[in-house]
Amino acid sequence: MSVVIVVGAQWGDEGKGKVVDLFTERAEMVIRYGGGANAGHTLVIEGQKLVTHLVPSGVCHPGKSCVLGDGMVIDPQTLLEEIAQCQARGLLSRGELLVGLGAHVILPYHKLLDALREDAGAKIGKAIGTTRRGIGPAYEAKAARKGVRVRDLMKPARLRELVLANLDELSPLIAHLGGQPPAPAEIERWIDDALAAGRALLPYTGDAGRHVAHAIADGQHVLFEGAQGCLLDLDHGTYPYVTSSSTIAAGACQSAGIGPTAIDAVVGITKAYATRVGAGPFPTELHGDAGDRLRKAGGEFGATTGRPRRCGWLDLPALRMGARLSGMTSLALTKLDVLGGMSEVSVCVAYTVDGKELDEPPIDPDDIARAQPVYTSFPGWEKLPADARDVSDLPGPARAYVETIERLAGVPFCLVSVGPDRTETIRLHDPFA
Ligand code: IMP
């Protein structure tokens, strides 16, 4: 038996969907453990695209057990739409999905508040650039011990009491931020919709923590699918420009309710370059034509919001920090093919701040924002052979690039992705082995 956690090693959007999909061939259970519909996984199966926000990327393998852990914040309408979308493709029709009854629920007022805060922040240049999916407000309610959980969707009186109590507190804030507090009829509709969603979700709900623990005790191969990336972690990321959950490997244990001693391996996913969505420091960001070229080549537009992603060179100090925070035992390098056709490819090997060279980002985001990247450059290479199945199949400069990253990151690669399809992959090591 092996228990493997997959985490994003950067600021999210590292191509986790494809890697989780590949690893799911070996896993019997896949668990999403944090965040909510702020994530977006684009899966390409036999040339067909499937985008999921809540359902784990492992869904594409019929018969594998998919779990949404208690640490998540779940938008019930989005989840129901995704279940329907999967079932229309013949997936999730055999009772493969289990939604934790302890997970928190995102309701319309969480999304309203998220959007109003962002709009107010934008006016003074302080927006976080959230996905506006209500993630922060739902986690705030959870921390304040006033949140609505999935189990509350099945208890009409309790749900009503919670929603009314929350809105009693939040309506003045909504008005203060320039919004229209919901009228009683609208609140009633929200409650009715939530109860209807609860009835529809009931067959999928259960005790996620025990379900996962039993699978591990039974000796199953279990895969935890992280969302976002290590540098967006609430505690250790580039605060305040972070999400509101734990995105590092430890978050998997916390969310699923299992101990760290159950974990056998942690795989970090890093793109061959870097992207970031929303505000916050990004030392290797490329502006103008160079950034546009990378964005176009990599199709770097948010799967959830459609926003253009900020693009830049691979940042090894940030990658080392992600590797340290999550205790990564191996790395998967994705989207190497996107760099094909560039005249030159660079990688940031260190930062300088006030004349001092640093191998990891400084602790203060203001210092990260003014850090100067120290680059090593490689001659570019032509399009990668799509049938590359070994590092030795790569053109010389691409091979040198891969080997340099592996050496300077200090974590071995288990996989290099050379194209979007499942088959376009160099497999070096099986994390479940
Ligand atoms: P929130 O999670 O919607 O509150 O957004 C907080 C920050 O995390 C923003 O900068 C978002 O762009 C970023 N973020 C949240 N989810 C993702 C993701 O799945 N990929 C990349 N960035 C994300």
Q: For residue 351, what pLDDT band results from cuts at 50, 70 and 90?
A: very high
Site to probe by mutation for ligand 1, drawn from 243, 269, 311 as the one with most ligand atoms within 8 Å of Cβ, is 243
> Residue range 362-374: average pLDDT?
92
| Judgement on whether residues 266 and 356 belong to the same structural domain of the protein | yes
Out of 50-54, 80-84, 139-143, 323-327, pick the least confident. 50-54
Single out the residue in 203, 224, 253 at which a domain terminates: 203
**What's 349's domain CATH number?**
3.40.440.10
Q: Quick check: CB of 16 below 6 Å from ligand 1? A: no
Single out the residue in 140, 168, 203 at which a domain terminates: 203
207 is catalytic: no
Atom 11 of ligand 1: nearest residue by CA position? 130
Q: Is 396 exposed, middle or buried (0-12, 13-18, 19+ CB in 10 A)?
A: exposed
Residue 432 lies in a domain: no
C-alpha 229/C-alpha 399 separation (Å) is: 26
| Judgement on whether residues 75 and 214 belong to the same structural domain of the protein | yes
Residue 109 lies in a domain: yes
Digit-coded pLDDT (tens) for 199-229: 999 999 999 999 999 999 999 999 999 999 9
Q: In the numeric block, which tokens belong to residue 227? A: 């969302």
| Judgement on whether residues 199 and 247 belong to the same structural domain of the protein | no
304 has pLDDT over 80? no
> Residue range 136-154: average pLDDT?
98
How many CB atoms are located within 10 Å of the residue 196 CB? 14
C-alpha 34/C-alpha 257 separation (Å) is: 12
| Judgement on whether residues 196 and 226 belong to the same structural domain of the protein | no
- Percent of the chain topping pLDDT 90: 87
Residue 333 lies in a domain: yes
Site to probe by mutation for ligand 1, drawn from 13, 14, 20, 38 as the one with most ligand atoms within 8 Å of Cβ, is 38
| Judgement on whether residues 136 and 256 belong to the same structural domain of the protein | no
Residue 45 lies in a domain: yes
C-alpha 44/C-alpha 18 separation (Å) is: 8
Expressed in angstroms and rounded, the spacing between residue 242 Cα and the centre of ligand 1 is 7
Query: What pLDDT does 203 receive?
Result: 95
If you ran DSSP here, which 8-state letter would residue 308 be given? B
| Judgement on whether residues 267 and 347 belong to the same structural domain of the protein | yes
| Judgement on whether residues 186 and 326 belong to the same structural domain of the protein | no
| Judgement on whether residues 43 and 142 belong to the same structural domain of the protein | no
Q: For residue 46, what pLDDT band results from cuts at 50, 70 and 90?
A: low
| Judgement on whether residues 196 and 215 belong to the same structural domain of the protein | no
Under 8 Å between Cβ of 425 and 22: yes
Single out the residue in 174, 203, 232 at which a domain terminates: 203
Q: Which residues 6+ apart lie within 8 Å of 234 measured at CB?
A: 242, 243, 244, 245, 246, 247
Q: Quick check: CB of 138 below 6 Å from ligand 1? A: no
**Closest by Cα among 299, 229, 223 to 44:** 299
Q: Which of 21, 41, 70, 114 is catalytic?
A: 41
Under 8 Å between Cβ of 267 and 431: yes
| Judgement on whether residues 286 and 396 belong to the same structural domain of the protein | yes
| Judgement on whether residues 323 and 387 belong to the same structural domain of the protein | yes
| Beta strands at 104-105 and 73-74: parallel, antiparallel or unpaired | parallel
Out of 45-49, 69-73, 100-104, 317-321, pick the least confident. 45-49
**What's 178's domain CATH number?**
1.10.300.10
C-alpha 41/C-alpha 62 separation (Å) is: 17
> Residue range 278-294: average pLDDT?
95
Residue 52 lies in a domain: yes
Out of 144-153, 360-369, 370-379, pick the least confident. 360-369
Mean pLDDT of the chain: 95
307 has pLDDT over 80? yes
41 is catalytic: yes
Q: How many domains does the chain have?
A: 2
Residue 18 lies in a domain: yes
> Residue range 176-191: average pLDDT?
97
Structural domain of residue 8, as residue ranges? 3-95+208-427
Q: In the numeric block, which tokens belong to residue 304? A: 């959830």
| Judgement on whether residues 193 and 331 belong to the same structural domain of the protein | no
Residue 337 lies in a domain: yes
Query: What pLDDT does 44 receive?
Result: 65
Helices (H), 34-183: 76-88, 108-123, 135-143, 156-176
Query: What pLDDT does 55 receive?
Result: 94
Residue 433 lies in a domain: no
**Closest by Cα among 404, 333, 417, 335 to 375:** 404
Instruction: Name the packing angle between helices 396-409 and 316-326 (round to 10°).
Output: 50
